[in-house]
Amino acid sequence: MMSSDTIFALSSGPPPSGVAVVRISGPAAFDAVGRLAGDLPKRRATLLRAVRNRDGDLIDKGLVLSFPGPRSFTGEDCVELQLHGGRAVVAAVSAELSHLGLRLAEAGEFTHRAFDNGKMDLVEVEGLGDLIAADTEMQRRLAIEQSAGGLSTRYAAWANRLTKARALIEAELDFADEDDVPGSVSEQVWADVAQVQREIALQIDATQKADAVRDAFKVVIIGPPNAGKSSFMNAFAKRDVAIVTEIAGTTRDVLEVELDLQGFLVRLSDTAGLRETTDVVEREGVRRALGTAQKADLLLALTEIDSDTKWSVGHELNIPTLRIGTKSDLHPWSRDAFDFVVSTSTGVGLDDVRKEILARVELAWNSIASLGAGRMRHVEHLTRASNFLAEALSGAELDIRAESLRLAAMALGRITGRVDVEDLLDVIFSEFCIGK
């Protein structure tokens, strides 16, 4: 990406639409739009202008918004055209801008320029990407916290505290005989370093839990054939997702549906019946079922009420499990044998299971809501920083401990993009759409 180029792109939805927003950024933005819509004042303004092609023919009439750099999204001179959202209008304006030497922006290039020009750091960039992709209210709230700079401020504060600690340590190393240097670093430094390490540990835990909010809380249905798993899934999702028959082994693969439970994204997976079988296809289905169960946040172990089948899969995998007895309309039952008893025919018990799942998701959310949480990429660097802090607190030579503090601060800097993250940039910005 060449920052000296002037770029443009359609930043609104694809035509036809009510309004088309064409964004232009770069050193030639004002000149290019001036040729189409008349000279623009080099100030922040909103103007109603006629937009014409190179022959003077009217293309459309719309609003021209000007944002002189550096007070713009990208930090460069930016102009936006708000026109009618017809395909022909967008095509004509794009053709004129290309004729003037501007080029179509690549995916995420506007945001990339904002990062290059110091308008955003990587944490805020990732939050913006999550905000655009958010489907549920909780995803939106997580993304807002990240894109608004709350996490960046926290990471920077930790790095600043470590820098201050290093300064005091190095002062003692270099000027130990001077009267104006504090006599004991340990009392002033190491207690705070230990506190930073504890705060980072909380952040790591919150970020890992936030993955379930951002990428869906994974609930997996397991059980023997004909336990009513597919019927349960259809009833719970309130639509036909899985094929239901009386034939054992009907479900051969993992079926998934995503549900919005009061703002939380829940991914419900139906799996093949777990049993010993000589059928090659069914055996593969069992293998996939167990593989999916290993990645679950919560298992729903379904068993028909009068069955003698005992389930220990959740216990073996060390994954929280709800024991659910099915077909309560057909069999007498005792609640003692199960956590919940349901009937997909009458709907009995389904709301109770739904409330329990929601309570568990809310519990995970409440543990992270006050901290905010970034992406799993952050965990790697937070863990590395925590390990360096552990080395600094271990009691080695003072100069080695100071170096460990420096490395911990660098690990934090890699999260926000302040330290050599060039290899990450293409990956992160490729996730954005054209025009953002």
Q: What residue segments make up the domains of the chain, in order of their start?
A: 7-120, 124-212+375-417, 217-366
Architecture of domain 7-120: 2-Layer Sandwich (3.30)
For residue 132, give Cα distances in angstroms to 16, 67, 126, 207, 428. Answer: 21, 22, 10, 19, 14
Low-confidence ranges of the chain (pLDDT < 50): 1-2, 180-181, 183, 244-250, 311-312, 314, 423-424
Helix axes of 109-116 and 122-133: crossing angle, nearest 10 degrees: 160
Question: Is the domain covering 217-366 a CATH 3.20.20.80 domain?
Answer: no
Residues, the chain: 436
Sorted by sequence, the CB contacts under 8 Å of residue 256 that are 6+ apart come out as 267, 268, 269, 270
Write the pLDDT tens digit of every residue in 98-140.
999 999 999 889 999 999 898 988 888 888 888 888 887 877 8
What integer pLDDT is reported at residue 105 of this predicted model?
Answer: 93
CB-CB contact of 323 with 301 (8 Å)? yes
* Unique residue bearing structure tokens 């990645």: 295
d(C-alpha 95, C-alpha 17), whole Å: 19
CA distance linking residue 268 with residue 270, whole number of Å: 7
Residues 403, 419: Cα–Cα separation, whole Å: 16
pTM (2 decimals)? 0.68
Note the CATH architecture for domain 124-212+375-417. Answer: Up-down Bundle (1.20)
Residue pLDDT, tens place only, 185-210: 556 788 899 999 999 998 888 887 77
